[in-house]
A and B are shown apart, each in its own frame.
Chain A
Amino acid sequence: QVQLVESGGGVVQPGRSLRLSCAASGFSFSSYGMHWVRQAPGKGLEWVAVIWFDGSSKYYADSVKGRFTISRDNSKNTLYLQMNSLRAEDTAVYYCARATKLGATPIDYWGQGTLVTVSS
């Protein structure tokens, strides 16, 4: 079955960087687009970024554009989110999620999430 396991969350100071990872298993990782979605404490879901199956195309929400970078290593079945210049408003649970097909298609499966707290 599809499994997505995020890691790398923690407490980080404003302005610093953090890299999240998502280990995928149970499906052919290199054949699917992948998303990152976040959820601030007690708030709703916010789409963050998507990457095509081969990493050739990447798209971002305006709120993170220029600060966050999505990437993948298909040889390791792993998705990444590099987060730079972090702000307090980036505090959230970050979910890794699979797209239904190889491009920027909707989400069908989600990981359990990893919490990022930006605080001094």
Chain B
Amino acid sequence: QSALTQPASVSGSPGQSITISCTGTSSDVGTYNLVSWYQQHPGKAPKLMIYEGSKRPSGVSNRFSGSKSGNTASLTISGLQAEDEADYYCCSYAGSSTYVFGTGTKVTVL
């Protein structure tokens, strides 16, 4: 499968809100409500931030929220903080027990 499409970079000032898009197809994002979002700081392992499109794991700040419309999923970070600066990846179930990741987005806090 082809990787899901994310913007290469998104930036915002502290306290602002930003949204990262994740565009797939009717074979993945559009059909299944199984989009996850992961945060990855340099040299570190990814961390789950959102699962099943809009659910937050215990311990993840409520400043992170997820949504989906058609073939596009989105991650919104509100009240942007310096510690949010990282790479973010979406991941969708793609059928037949396979998964596909997004191209990744670098978030910069100005």
**Which A positions have Cβ atoms within 8 angstroms of B?**
35, 37, 44-47, 50, 57, 59-62, 95, 100, 103-113
Verify A45–B104 contact, CB threshold 8 A.
yes
With an 8 Å Cβ cutoff, the count of chain B residues facing the other chain is 26
* Contact among B51, B89, B102 for A100, CB-based, below 8 A: B51
- Could you list 19 examples of A-B contacts with CB < 8 Å? A44-B104, A45-B46, A45-B101, A45-B104, A46-B3, A46-B101, A47-B91, A47-B98, A50-B97, A59-B96, A61-B98, A100-B51, A103-B97, A104-B98, A106-B36, A109-B48, A110-B46, A111-B45, A112-B45
- In the complex formed, the residue of A with least CB distance to B35 is A106
User: How distant is the Cα of A29 from the Cα of B80 in the complex, in angstroms?
Assistant: 36
Verify A45–B45 contact, CB threshold 8 A.
no
- Inter-chain contacts of A110 with B (CB < 8 A): 45-47
* Contact among B1, B40, B57, B96 for A108, CB-based, below 8 A: B57
User: How distant is the Cα of A37 from the Cα of B38 in the complex, in angstroms?
Assistant: 13
**Which B positions have Cβ atoms within 8 angstroms of A?**
1, 3, 34, 36, 38, 40, 44-48, 51-52, 57, 89, 91, 93, 96-104
- Inter-chain contacts of B102 with A (CB < 8 A): 44
- Inter-chain contacts of A108 with B (CB < 8 A): 48, 51, 57
- Inter-chain contacts of B1 with A (CB < 8 A): 62
- Inter-chain contacts of B44 with A (CB < 8 A): 112
Verify B97–A107 contact, CB threshold 8 A.
no
Verify B91–A44 contact, CB threshold 8 A.
no
User: How distant is the Cα of A111 from the Cα of B44 in the complex, in angstroms?
Assistant: 9
Instruction: Give the residue among B51, B93, B97 with the most A Cβ atoms within 10 A.
Output: B97
Verify A106–B103 contact, CB threshold 8 A.
no
Verify A106–B98 contact, CB threshold 8 A.
no
- In the complex formed, the residue of B with least CB distance to A109 is B48
User: How distant is the Cα of A57 from the Cα of B96 in the complex, in angstroms?
Assistant: 11
Closest beta carbon of chain A to B32's beta carbon, Å: 10
- In the complex formed, the residue of A with least CB distance to B99 is A47
Verify B45–A95 contact, CB threshold 8 A.
yes
- Inter-chain contacts of A44 with B (CB < 8 A): 3, 89, 101-104
